[in-house]
Structure 1
């Protein structure tokens, strides 16, 4: 499956397994950011459950309705994220 990802335009998809088939459905959430993580340099922020003052999103769960895994390999991954682009 190929995804066309444009901030402010592409909807976050939800994958469901129905009757032996994977169905991709759009949600109401619009992607505002693309985030690509390289595990070699982002290890503390990706893998650690300890909160870090300098990383705002650590120490709590992601809202999985507003985040969608796009692709990855052995040491990196890309996420589409829906949020307020004006928020800090």
Structure 2
């Protein structure tokens, strides 16, 4: 039983380095202003709501505290019990 001969030219064409370069080129072509620092993905709700909550949670955990209450929002609101 003979095995079919495999063409290795495709293996030489798609090396990991070439694939990485092609992927980087495609990402740059899709998002040039973001990669050049002219625009950002962080907009509206994420920048004004989600990021401060994530920062507060991170600070609490690094200080060894459970973030049960957020004193920085309004006059204080439950933090860990909320869905967001």
Which TM class, normalised by the smaller chain length?
A: under 0.3
**Length-normalised TM-score, structure 2:** 0.20
Structure richer in strand, relative to its length:
1
Return the structure number with greater relative CO, CA threshold 8 A, min gap 6.
1
Q: Which has the larger Rg?
A: 2
**Length-normalised TM-score, structure 1:** 0.19
